[in-house]
Structure 1
Amino acid sequence: MDLKRTNPALYLVQRTLFYLLVTAIAAYLLLPFFWAVLTSFRRSSDLGLTPDKFITAPWTLVNYQLVLANPSFQKGLLFSLMVAIGSVAISLLIGSFAAYALGRFRFRGKQMIMYIILAVSVFPQIAVLGGLFTLIRSAGLFNNPAGLILSYLIFTIPFTVWVLTSFVRDIPGELEEAALVDGASPLQTLFLVLFPVMMPALVTTGLLAFINCWNEYLFALTFTSSNRTVPVVIGNYSGATQFDQPWGPIMAASIVVTVPLIILVLVFQRNIVSGLTAGAVKG
C-alpha cells in the first residue's frame, strides 16, 4: 500500500518524525566531536567562558603548533603507526590461512575452534594483563614495539579469523573448482584466486583491526615505559602546575590522531559495503 497516496497527512508525519529522529541521533553522536574540535582552536584562558562566549571566542592554532612540535607526540605517532601496521599485517596473514581452512575444509573439532575463537575475542583485556606482562618481560620485549605487536595479536587475530571465515564461506565454490581443474594447488588457489576476491574483506577487516590497535591504551600503558604510543602520550599530557589541565592541546592531539582514521574510512567505504564476489562468476 502506497501510504503517500492513500494518506498524505500520515505519510508526512512519519517522514517528519523519521528525520527528527535521525537529526537527534546525529547531534548526539557529533556534538562531542564538534566540542572537541572547538576546544582545540581555543586558548587556555577561554576554557572558563560560558558556552555562548566560548563558541564565539577567537580561533587560534597555538594548540596544534604545540602538539605537532612536541617530540613525544611525534615519537608516539611513529610507534603507533609501526605497531598498528605490524599487528594488522600479521593478523591478516595468519587470519587468511585460518579462515580458508575453517571456511572451506571439514575436520573434527572445527565448530569447537570457532567457539574458542569467539570466546577469546570477547575476553576482557584486563583478565590476561598480568600473565601477558610476565611473558613479555621474560621474552625481553618490554618497552619494545615487538612486545606491543605480540600483545595486540591476542585480540586482532581472533577478530580477523572470525570475520574472514564468514566471508570465505560466501565465496562460490566454482572458483576453487575451476582452479583445481586447471591444476592449481590449494596454496595457489588461495593466493591467486581467493585473495583477489577477498580483497574487500581484507581491506575492511584490516581497517577495523588497525583502528583497534591505533586506539588501544591499556596494553600500551602497561608494556612500555618510554616508547609510548599516541593514546598514552595524550593521556600523560600535563599542565604547568598540578592544577592546570591542558584541555586545548589534549583536544588538538586527539583531533590530529582521529582525522586520519576518518579519512581512511571515507576512502575505503566502497570496499566496506561492496559485495565480495561481484563479477567473480560469469553466468
Structure 2
Amino acid sequence: MDQKLTGRKRVLYLLFVAVFLFVMVSPMLYMISASFMPESDLNHIPPRILPSAGTIKNYVAAFVQQPLLRYVFNSFVITIIAVVICITAGCMASYALTRTNIRFKTVFLLFVLTISLLPTITLINPIFKMYSKLGLLNTHIGLALIVSVLDLPMTIWFLTAVFKGIPVSFEESAKLDGANMFQMFFYIILPLLKASIFSISILVFIGAWNRFLLSQVLNQYEQYRTVVVGLTLYQTTHTIPFGVVAAAGMITVLPLMAMVLVFQKNILGGIMEGGVKE
C-alpha cells in the first residue's frame, strides 16, 4: 500500500513538473516558431503552431525597420560597464563588511536590502531630475551607473555570504608573510572567489540587460537606446507585426540564452560556493 502511494505521489510530482515546464517554456517555443512564420501563417485560423514554410523575412525586417544592431551594441556597452562597477564595488564592500570591525554592519546590510526592495518607478522622478542637472541623460555611463547601483544590494548580499565562508586562516598566514590588506584581497581572496564572482556577474548582466523603465526614461535619444526599449518601436499605429516582433525578441534574448546555456554549471557552482563553511 505504501509503495502504491509512493508511486502515485511520484506520478503526481512528475505531472506537476511537466505542466510547470510546459507553461514556462511554451511561450518561448512559440516565439521561436513565430519568428520564422510568414504573415499568412500568423493570420491563419485556427492558429498554426509550426510554420508551413520557414522564412527569415521577419529577421530581415527586424533589422531594416529599426537600427537593431545599434540598440544591441548600446545594451552591451551599458551592461558591461554596469557589471564592472557593480562587481568592483560589491567585492570591496563585502570584504570590508566581513573582515573589518565596522560598527552597525547589520544595520547597513538591512539598509542595503531595503533599497533593493523599492520599486524602480518610485525612484524615476528623483533620478531623472538629478541626471538632468548633472548632464547624464542620454549617455551610456549615466544609465550604467544607476543600473549598477540598483543591482549592488544583491551583489553585496551574495558576496558577503561567500566571503564569510572563506577561512580567516588564509589571511592570517599571509599576514605572517608581511602582506597588507590590499595584497590579501587581490592576491589571496579574489582568486578563491572566481566562480562566485563569475556567477554574480552573469546575474547582474541579465538584470542590467533587461532594465526597461530606466532605459526608456533616461536614454530617449536613438543613438543611446537599448534593445529592450527598441522592441516597443516595432508596433505601428494600427498593427503589431508579431512575426517581426518575435524575431526582434529572439535577437534580444539570444545573448542571455547562450550565456545561461554555456555557463549554467559555472553559475550553479558559484552560487553553491556561498554555502562553504570554515
TM-score by length of 1: 0.90
Structure 2 counterpart of 1:65, which letter?
V
Q: Does 1:237 align with 2:229?
A: no
Change (3 A) 1:214 1:97: same
Structure 2 counterpart of 1:175, which letter?
F
Structure 2: stretches of 5+ with no match in the other structure: none
Q: Matches of 1:79 and 1:217 in 2, distance apart?
A: 13
Which residue does 2:216 correspond to in 1? 221
Q: Matches of 1:108 and 1:229 in 2, distance apart?
A: 41
The worse-fitting range, judged by mean Cα deviation, of 11-20 and 188-197 is 11-20
Q: Matches of 1:277 and 1:25 in 2, distance apart?
A: 28
Which residue does 2:84 correspond to in 1? 89
Q: Do the aligned residues in 2 keep the contact of 1:176 with 1:193 (CA within 8 Å)?
A: yes
Q: Does 1:181 align with 2:176?
A: yes
Q: Do the aligned residues in 1 keep the contact of 2:62 with 2:247 (CA within 8 Å)?
A: yes
The alpha-carbon deviation at position 162 of structure 1 amounts to 1.6
Q: What is the identity percentage for the equivalent residue pairs of Structure 1 and Structure 2?
A: 28
The superposition leaves residues 70-121 of structure 1 with CA deviations (integer Å, 9 ceiling, x where unpaired) of: 5521110010000000001011111100000112222211111111100011
The worse-fitting range, judged by mean Cα deviation, of 103-112 and 203-212 is 103-112
Name the SS for the 1:55 alignment partner. Answer: coil
Which residue does 2:5 correspond to in 1? 10
Structure 1 counterpart of 2:228, which letter?
P
The superposition leaves residues 161-212 of structure 1 with CA deviations (integer Å, 9 ceiling, x where unpaired) of: 1211111111111221222122211111111111111111111111111111
Q: Does 1:154 align with 2:139?
A: no
Structure 1: stretches of 5+ with no match in the other structure: 1-5
Q: Matches of 2:171 and 2:82 in 1, distance apart?
A: 29
The alpha-carbon deviation at position 246 of structure 1 amounts to 1.2
Change (3 A) 1:67 1:53: closer
The worse-fitting range, judged by mean Cα deviation, of 132-141 and 68-77 is 68-77
Structure 2 counterpart of 1:276, which letter?
E
Which residue does 1:276 correspond to in 2? 273
Q: Does 1:134 align with 2:103?
A: no
Which residue does 1:249 correspond to in 2? 244
Q: Do the aligned residues in 2 keep the contact of 1:85 with 1:210 (CA within 8 Å)?
A: yes
The superposition leaves residues 233-269 of structure 1 with CA deviations (integer Å, 9 ceiling, x where unpaired) of: 0111134xx2121111111111112122122112222
Q: Do the aligned residues in 1 keep the contact of 2:164 with 2:277 (CA within 8 Å)?
A: no
Q: Matches of 2:132 and 2:275 in 1, distance apart?
A: 48
Q: Do the aligned residues in 1 keep the contact of 2:72 with 2:227 (CA within 8 Å)?
A: yes
Structure 1 counterpart of 2:164, which letter?
R
Name the SS for the 2:273 alignment partner. Answer: coil
Q: Do the aligned residues in 1 keep the contact of 2:71 with 2:226 (CA within 8 Å)?
A: yes
Change (3 A) 1:52 1:250: closer
1:43-58 pair list within 5 angstroms? 43-51=38-46, 53-58=48-53
Name the SS for the 1:236 alignment partner. Answer: helix
Q: Matches of 2:219 and 2:37 in 1, distance apart?
A: 32
The alpha-carbon deviation at position 67 of structure 1 amounts to 2.0
Structure 2 counterpart of 1:232, which letter?
V
Equivalent of residue 122 in structure 1, options 117, 123, 127: 117
Structure 2 counterpart of 1:39, which letter?
A
Which residue does 1:30 correspond to in 2? 25
TM-score by length of 2: 0.92
Structure 1 counterpart of 2:233, which letter?
N
Q: Does 1:107 align with 2:102?
A: yes
Q: Do the aligned residues in 1 keep the contact of 2:158 with 2:274 (CA within 8 Å)?
A: no
Q: Matches of 1:133 and 1:108 in 2, distance apart?
A: 33
Q: Matches of 2:189 and 2:46 in 1, distance apart?
A: 55
Which residue does 2:262 correspond to in 1? 267
The worse-fitting range, judged by mean Cα deviation, of 61-70 and 157-166 is 61-70
Name the SS for the 1:268 alignment partner. Answer: helix
The alpha-carbon deviation at position 10 of structure 1 amounts to 2.9
Q: Do the aligned residues in 2 keep the contact of 1:87 with 1:213 (CA within 8 Å)?
A: yes
The alpha-carbon deviation at position 11 of structure 1 amounts to 3.3
The alpha-carbon deviation at position 54 of structure 1 amounts to 4.7
RMSD: 2.1
